[in-house]
Structure 1
Amino acid sequence: MSVPNALRALTGTPQTLNTRKKETTMITAMQQTAPDYTAIKAKQNAAWASGDYARIGVTLQITGEELAEAANPAPGAKVLDVAGGNGNATLAFARRWCQVTSTDYVDTLLQAGRARAEAEGLDVTFEVADAEHLPYPDESFDMVVSTFGVMFTPNQKKSASEMMRVLRPGGRIAMANWTPNSFIGHLFKTLGRHVPPPAGVQSPALWGTDDWIAEQFADGSREIALKMKNFNFRYASTQHFVDIFKTFYGPVHKAFLALGDGAPALEADIVETVERFNIATDGTMLVPSEYAEIVITKA
């Protein structure tokens, strides 16, 4: 029974005192176990603001370019980049003459995207915005896009519904999301064994599964196209990757800081994870990581 249904049961029909007490206890328990999204987002904000994600984000630029090609935007299209980070999708769509609004709830990431857009002479609007509460009217964008961004929101269903809400009928949502069995999916699991995620928050990698995407977006969509692709992580060595990620990638950076004496064990596990996926034979690192390229057309 959902909380609203339970409340209706309490107020809408005669019940015994014992039954009412049981249902009140059930509602209280559900409320207590519901994730505190405000607190979770505050911690996430601090994590993504730590290090310097832009140093890593720029290496993923090709995924933004390929996503823009898959989305096939018309010049002049109004595009919203949700959880845009340092602007990979933002720049890709702006290079195709779209009117892009780039958003994130971490202002330092937007600053990196703004610097990149200014360096290229691209006219982009940058605004701090929460993906779970987008400050835009219904049906106000032709496209809503995200590369490895919106998938990290804690209230996943709310973010998905917000993307659909601000999209006009016939418009398209375009996303690149890591999959559960990808290298990055396994890296998340490795981190989770050392620094458990907040209770009640589902894996970000659900956004890379066809079942979850269909569950969130099928109602109200005309078409969902999902294509599995690979991004290649290329580093001078496994240790080079570890050093870069623990220095610049916010969630990994924060995990190492939090673990203290436990940091060496996390580093050893990350090294083991990398080596399981590494296909380089010359001492360098070449790790393909699967992701889902998704284009959804709203009905």
Structure 2
Amino acid sequence: MTDASEARQADRTLKSKHRAMWALGDYPSVASHVVSPLGPLLVKECGIQIGDRVLDIAAGSGNAAIPAALAGADVVASDLTPELLEVGRHLAAVQGAQLEWREADAEDLPFADGEFDVVMSCIGIMFAPHHRTAADEMLRVCRAGGTVGLVSWTPEGFVGRLFATMKPFAPPPPPGVQPPPLWGSEEYVHELLGDAVTDVVARRRTVRVTLFKAPSDFREFFKACYGPTIAVYRAVGDDPEKVAALDAALDALAAEHTTDGVMEWEYLLLTAHRSG
């Protein structure tokens, strides 16, 4: 087997693992019960209008794609995980939204150069393993003068720290795989996008989370619903001491970020125009 074919096989294996991870648990519950305000916010900040051709990358169950369709846009919701797309189809039907659902890899989008007026991703593209490749694809399919919009968890915010907390319990990532919360660093995203964009506006904000009345409520919800957390628990599942240590670490993290039953999860909201 040649080096190139070995690399392709390794990438297919990696993407298969990612696809399976996001199918674990119930991520649509996280999207609808915890971070639901983020999708409509991104649609508003991108200025999406009737007739815009919009691509939502790593759309999951449609937290941003469905509001964009309801705003009158011509929307394609793409995601690597077909199980999430199927949930999205059902949610869209319930809400009366019409859009296209397309299984697609953020690092190899099946769309033409400059096909979309708006290319957005709401805490989605940040989980693609190779950031430069994903960013290049996002820029490629956006037309000159079009809008790029991103919502990403920051490294310093709660979810960024969640990944840092889980890291010692998780298997080491394959070579070249980059940490998702880097997309929440304004400087990092500026470097990824470079002079391919203009009019960059980046703001740090927080989403208010009131679902969890105690730290253990957060931990149990994420153990049941959030693919990355489920995967880490499975990795240490045969070691009761590590499971207990991970339980304690997540409880401590949640307690640190909870005041009177309220959590504030920081994210970076970034919009820009495609150079042309």
CA contact (8 A) 2:30 2:226 kept: yes
Question: How far apart are the structure 2 equivalents of 1:220 and 1:201?
Answer: 23
Counterparts of 1:11-22 in structure 2, within 5 Å, are none
Of the three residues 212, 219, 222, the one matched with 2:195 is 219
Of the three residues 165, 180, 205, the one matched with 1:190 is 165
Tell me the TM-score normalized by structure 2: 0.92
- Confirm whether residue 162 of structure 1 aligns to residue 137 of structure 2: yes
Larger Rg: 1
Which has the higher mean CA deviation after the structures are superposed, 195-204 or 150-159?
195-204
Question: How far apart are the structure 2 equivalents of 1:123 and 1:42?
Answer: 29
For residue 42 of structure 1, what is the aligned residue in structure 2?
16
Q: Please report how far the alpha carbon of residue 37 of structure 1 lies from its aligned counterpart in structure 2 after TM superposition.
A: 3.2
Counterparts of 1:184-263 in structure 2, within 5 Å, are 184-199=159-174, 200-234=176-210, 235-260=212-237, 261=239, 262-263=242-243
CA offsets 1:262-295 (integer angstroms, 9 cap, x no match): 2111111000111111122xxx3x2111100110
Question: How far apart are the structure 1 equivalents of 2:79 and 2:8?
Answer: 24
CA contact (8 A) 1:74 1:98 kept: yes
For residue 25 of structure 1, what is the aligned residue in structure 2?
none
Amino acid at match of 1:298: R
Amino acid at match of 2:270: I
Secondary structure of the structure 2 residue equivalent to 1:263: helix
For residue 276 of structure 1, what is the aligned residue in structure 2?
256
CA offsets 1:177-216 (integer angstroms, 9 cap, x no match): 0000000000000110111441432211111111111111
CA offsets 1:80-107 (integer angstroms, 9 cap, x no match): 0000011111012112111110010100
CA contact (8 A) 2:215 2:252 kept: no
Of the three residues 75, 78, 85, the one matched with 2:53 is 78
Q: Please report how far the alpha carbon of residue 33 of structure 1 lies from its aligned counterpart in structure 2 after TM superposition.
A: 11
For residue 147 of structure 2, what is the aligned residue in structure 1?
172
Aligned-CA RMSD value: 1.9
For residue 245 of structure 2, what is the aligned residue in structure 1?
265
Amino acid at match of 2:117: D
CA contact (8 A) 1:58 1:86 kept: no
Secondary structure of the structure 2 residue equivalent to 1:228: strand
Secondary structure of the structure 2 residue equivalent to 1:215: helix
Structure 2 unaligned residues grouped into runs of 5+: none
CA contact (8 A) 2:171 2:235 kept: no
Question: How far apart are the structure 2 equivalents of 1:61 and 1:244?
Answer: 16
Amino acid at match of 1:39: T
Deviation beyond 2 Å, 4+ runs, structure 1: 32-40
CA contact (8 A) 1:37 1:155 kept: no
CA contact (8 A) 1:101 1:127 kept: yes
CA offsets 1:57-92 (integer angstroms, 9 cap, x no match): 112121111111111112110000000011111012
Secondary structure of the structure 2 residue equivalent to 1:88: coil
With over 3 angstroms needed to count, the CA separation of the structure-2 counterparts of 1:181 and 1:109, relative to structure 1, is: same
Of the three residues 13, 25, 29, the one matched with 1:55 is 29
With over 3 angstroms needed to count, the CA separation of the structure-2 counterparts of 1:35 and 1:156, relative to structure 1, is: farther
CA contact (8 A) 1:35 1:201 kept: no
CA offsets 1:196-237 (integer angstroms, 9 cap, x no match): 441432211111111111111122212211111101222122
Counterparts of 1:91-102 in structure 2, within 5 Å, are 91-102=66-77
Secondary structure of the structure 2 residue equivalent to 1:123: coil
For residue 90 of structure 2, what is the aligned residue in structure 1?
115
Question: How far apart are the structure 2 equivalents of 1:218 and 1:295?
Answer: 13
Question: How far apart are the structure 1 equivalents of 2:15 and 2:209?
Answer: 28
Amino acid at match of 1:276: E
Amino acid at match of 1:211: E
Amino acid at match of 1:166: V
Question: How far apart are the structure 1 equivalents of 2:9 and 2:196?
Answer: 27
Question: How far apart are the structure 2 equivalents of 1:196 and 1:207?
Answer: 22
Structure 1 unaligned residues grouped into runs of 5+: 1-27
- Confirm whether residue 295 of structure 1 aligns to residue 271 of structure 2: yes
Counterparts of 1:20-39 in structure 2, within 5 Å, are 36-39=10-13
Q: Please report how far the alpha carbon of residue 34 of structure 1 lies from its aligned counterpart in structure 2 after TM superposition.
A: 11
Which has the higher mean CA deviation after the structures are superposed, 32-41 or 263-272?
32-41
Amino acid at match of 1:232: R
